[in-house]
Amino acid sequence: MDYSIMKPYDVRKLIREGKITTPTAGMSAGYAQANLVILPKDLAFDFLLFAQRNPKSCPILEVSDVGDKSLKYLGEDINITKDIPKYRVYENGILTGEYTDVENLWKDDYVSFLIGCSFSFESELIEAGVPVRHIEEKCNVPMYITNIECTPAGIFSGKMVVSMRPIPYDNIVKSVLVTGAMPKVHGAPVHIGDPAVIGIKNINRPDFGDPVTIKDNEVPVFWPCGVTPQSVVMNVKPKIVITHAPGHMLITDIKNIDLKY
Amino acid sequence: MDYSIMKPYDVRKLIREGKITTPTAGMSAGYAQANLVILPKDLAFDFLLFAQRNPKSCPILEVSDVGDKSLKYLGEDINITKDIPKYRVYENGILTGEYTDVENLWKDDYVSFLIGCSFSFESELIEAGVPVRHIEEKCNVPMYITNIECTPAGIFSGKMVVSMRPIPYDNIVKSVLVTGAMPKVHGAPVHIGDPAVIGIKNINRPDFGDPVTIKDNEVPVFWPCGVTPQSVVMNVKPKIVITHAPGHMLITDIKNIDLKY
């Protein structure tokens, strides 16, 4: 089956039935995918405030009602405990398990945060003719912990994590304009050029993901990354937090192009 | 003294000293002014969630730390209980007083929400050559309760309130583009043309503010209005809520132009 041309609703059905447990990159092309963080209500205000203060690294697409497994905006008939192909559960900051279904862990005071994902702007970059190296090289985007302090909120604080894409000189302005038009999925770059300026010591050794080739006529361009909120949550070592497993996202009913408005 | 050319810090000083108790329109020209809602912490999550779900009518510029009278982003050395020329206090939904200083009412669990204000985009419209009728006619902008349901959040729900500016046909596109570029201060219009479509029965009888002249070559254009969150809070009749008095805003250190990025 070619998942790329299937509607989000149909792909989510296969995921819910346990028939898809793989990363979701490329599935339901043109539709936005989202990161997940589930937290108990007593941490939800601080986390939402953190997102409000750090919208570039933590662009919220939807927050569920307290205790509600469904979503109202991102898609029809979603069960957030079943419709992601792989979940991670962290207890007191330690990964205690990976699951394809977390319904049995759900509690009445849980709140789901769905966070924008750079998949959305990458499809726009490609459409605009800007190369996206980690897709060309079929690996994970390289991500780095920077020296940029996020604005703290309540118990949450930490450094911004960025993703890097090498961009040819004659495409840099275009890449700023294309992604800057999509603030709900990280928006414009946070830095262009010398990695040392934002505290990155070795561009060939990312903190997460894989290194990619940077060609002679290219400059590393850095975008705020959705790993930031996860990393900030982990700093706090909450009693429990449930997230998607890396690359295993929620496929939403929202078209990437609708994230521009 | 010409307050329009004074720096925000200096105007706020006069306000704190009780030397200015009037509406702030036109003061510190070029700098953003903000609406204020102060709520106890137990209502703060629902209110922040309401803002997240209704960013056009409730664009949050800053949320204070719990119990903290200062702000970190909007301005230097702000005391949110003293730096607004006139406050209103509502208890159980009833206006119980107007004050020029509410420091004695402040409690350790209070959270301040500073919300974007259409003054910011009006100065951009004027700069772009688009007439702003209520400024020309030296009255309050006309505001209407619509039939547009806000997305509810926890205990908060209600209809969207809009402000209306009559725009000449040949300036409509420009007014959409100018304000659409400023999503932190309500952004693009929510409706252009026939008031009945959004449930407004009589354009000459606004629910708040003053009626303005609509000329033959002009169309009423409607923007989401910062009165929406106040009206939604009042629906709930919280034990206490402190707001600015209409037109008596916080003058921030942020330039209007910086609200574009």
Q: Indicate whether A201 pLDDT > 90.
A: yes
pLDDT confidence of residue A119 = 87
Q: What is the CATH number of the domain that holds A154?
A: 3.30.2040.10
The span from the CA of A86 to the CA of A27, in Å, is 15
Pair B133, B109 in one domain: no
Average pLDDT value for residue range B200-226: 96
The span from the CA of B97 to the CA of B82, in Å, is 15
Residue B91 pLDDT grade (very low, low, confident, very high; cuts 50, 70, 90)? very high
The span from the CA of A210 to the CA of A134, in Å, is 8
pLDDT confidence of residue A42 = 94
In this prediction the ipTM stands at 0.79
Average pLDDT value for residue range A3-24: 96
Pair B219, B165 in one domain: yes
Q: Indicate whether B123 pLDDT > 90.
A: no
pLDDT confidence of residue A25 = 87
Pair B89, B141 in one domain: no
The reply to whether B53 falls in a domain is yes
Pair B157, B224 in one domain: yes
Q: Give how many domains chain B has, as a whole number.
A: 2
Residue A1 pLDDT grade (very low, low, confident, very high; cuts 50, 70, 90)? confident
The reply to whether B123 falls in a domain is no
Residue B163 pLDDT grade (very low, low, confident, very high; cuts 50, 70, 90)? very high
What separation in angstroms does the CA of B239 have from each of A83, B39, B42, B242? Answer: 40, 9, 11, 10
Give the rounded distance of the alpha carbon of A248 from its chain centre: 10
Residue B119 pLDDT grade (very low, low, confident, very high; cuts 50, 70, 90)? confident
- Work out the mean pLDDT of chain B and round it to a whole number: 94
Place of tokens 């209407």: B144
Pair A181, A134 in one domain: yes
Residue B111 pLDDT grade (very low, low, confident, very high; cuts 50, 70, 90)? very high
The answer to whether the CB of B222 falls within 8 A of the CB of B145 is no
pLDDT confidence of residue B260 = 81
Report the candidate in B116, B87, B129, B100 with the shortest Cα–Cα distance to residue B223.
B116
Average pLDDT value for residue range B235-256: 93
In the three-class reduction of DSSP (H, G, I as helix; E, B as strand; rest coil), residue A101 is classed as coil
Q: Indicate whether B193 pLDDT > 90.
A: yes
The span from the CA of A242 to the CA of A70, in Å, is 16
Q: Which residues of A touch B155 (CB under 8 A)?
A: none
pLDDT confidence of residue A123 = 87
Q: Does B177 touch chain A (CB under 8 A)?
A: no
Contact B63 A52 (CB under 8 A): yes
| Amino acid at the residue B198 | I
Place of tokens 């919208």: A55
Pair B19, B78 in one domain: yes
Q: Which residues of B touch A52 (CB under 8 A)?
A: 48, 51-52, 60, 63
Q: Indicate whether B132 pLDDT > 90.
A: yes
Residues of chain B above pLDDT 90, percent = 87
Pair A12, A22 in one domain: yes
Q: What is the CATH number of the domain that holds A25?
A: 3.40.1640.10
Pair A139, A190 in one domain: yes
pLDDT confidence of residue B26 = 86
What separation in angstroms does the CA of A60 have from each of A54, A211, B35? Answer: 10, 28, 23
Pair A54, A155 in one domain: no
Pair A49, A82 in one domain: yes
Q: Indicate whether A26 pLDDT > 90.
A: no
Residue A45 pLDDT grade (very low, low, confident, very high; cuts 50, 70, 90)? very high
Interface list for A 57-96 with B (CB within 8 A) = 60, 63, 65-66, 72-73
The reply to whether B11 falls in a domain is yes
Residues of chain A above pLDDT 90, percent = 87
Q: Does A53 touch chain B (CB under 8 A)?
A: yes
Enclosing domain of residue B75: 3-118+233-260
Q: Give B33-89 pLDDT, tens digit per residue.
A: 999 999 999 999 999 999 999 999 999 999 999 999 999 999 999 999 999 999 999
The span from the CA of A146 to the CA of A162, in Å, is 7
Place of tokens 């020209």: B29
Contact A63 B72 (CB under 8 A): no
Q: Does B48 touch chain A (CB under 8 A)?
A: yes
Number of H helices, E strands in chain A: 6, 11
Pair B13, B110 in one domain: yes
Residue A28 pLDDT grade (very low, low, confident, very high; cuts 50, 70, 90)? very high
pLDDT confidence of residue B242 = 97
The span from the CA of A226 to the CA of A56, in Å, is 9
Pair A87, A125 in one domain: no
Residue A47 pLDDT grade (very low, low, confident, very high; cuts 50, 70, 90)? very high
Question: Pairing between strand A218-224 and A60-63?
Answer: unpaired
The span from the CA of B70 to the CA of B77, in Å, is 7
- Work out the mean pLDDT of chain A and round it to a whole number: 94
Contact B154 A65 (CB under 8 A): yes
Q: Which residues of B touch A153 (CB under 8 A)?
A: 65
pLDDT confidence of residue A260 = 81
Tokens standing for residue A188: 């414009």
